[in-house]
């Protein structure tokens, strides 16, 4: 019997020290289960809450804003890897061209801010009104910037249909 692709995938995941891999609809139940799995895998107690908060925020973004849906829930990819005492959280999902353009502008702006400017903007948003197109207070990416150890990385890959495949990656030190 030939094992083929799954064996290669297994070896590849093992080398990358994949902690968690999920692709599908991000329902409340799935998010709760994935969070519990990740909680059990993070041994650094001091960092655990920050990491879990960012993880939930990222997964909720997939659930709320993915162009691809299963019922009311967005479909996407969630990947958590560990390498050299760095935990790497990644999410990916499809976005409309309009949503991708607005999000790219917002993320570029956020990444141009200093740490102090991020804190100030965060405070302004807490006191301000909730954006109409937001499922929250519009604080998610600012929360991610505040809590992660390095600036996040994002990419927007245009698909043949004109939609975009959005990837967000966040890094945490574990040691």
Q: What is the pLDDT of residues 150-163, one digit of tens each?
A: 999 999 999 999 99
Question: What pTM does this model have?
Answer: 0.89
Task: Check residue 43 and give its pLDDT.
Answer: 87
Task: Check residue 56 and give its pLDDT.
Answer: 98
Q: Give, in words, the CATH class of 4-173.
A: alpha beta
Q: Give the Cα-Cα-Cα angle 130, 135, 137 (nearest 5 degrees).
A: 35
- Whole-number Å distance between alpha carbons of 60 and 17: 24
Q: Which residue has the higher pLDDT, 113 or 8?
A: 113
Q: What is the pLDDT of residues 19-73, one digit of tens each?
A: 899 999 999 999 999 999 999 989 888 899 999 999 999 999 999 999 999 999 9
Q: How far apart are the first and last CA of the chain?
A: 42
Pairing of strands 164-173, 18-25: unpaired
Q: Which residue has the tokens 């990819």?
A: 77
- Whole-number Å distance between alpha carbons of 103 and 96: 10
- Helix axes of 28-41 and 45-65: crossing angle, nearest 10 degrees: 160
- Whole-number Å distance between alpha carbons of 89 and 18: 10
Task: Check residue 46 and give its pLDDT.
Answer: 87
Mean pLDDT in the chain? 91
């Amino acid at each position: 019997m030939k094992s083929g692709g799954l064996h290669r995938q297994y070896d590849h995941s093992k080398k990358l020290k994949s902690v968690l891999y999920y692709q599908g609809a991000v329902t409340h139940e799935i998010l709760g289960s994935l969070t519990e799995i990740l909680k059990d895998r993070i041994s650094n107690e001091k960092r655990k809450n920050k990491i879990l908060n960012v993880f939930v925020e990222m997964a909720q973004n997939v659930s709320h804003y993915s162009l691809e849906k299963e019922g009311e829930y967005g479909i996407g990819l969630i990947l958590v890897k560990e390498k050299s005492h760095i935990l790497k959280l990644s999410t990916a999902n499809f976005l409309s061209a309009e949503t991708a353009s607005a999000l790219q502008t917002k993320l570029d702006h956020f990444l141009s801010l200093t740490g102090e400017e991020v804190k100030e903007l965060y405070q302004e948003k807490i006191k301000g009104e909730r954006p109409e197109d937001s499922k929250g207070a519009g604080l998610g990416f600012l929360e991610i910037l505040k809590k992660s150890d390095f600036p996040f990385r994002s990419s927007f890959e245009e698909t043949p249909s004109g939609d975009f495949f959005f990837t967000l990656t966040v890094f945490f030190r574990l040691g």
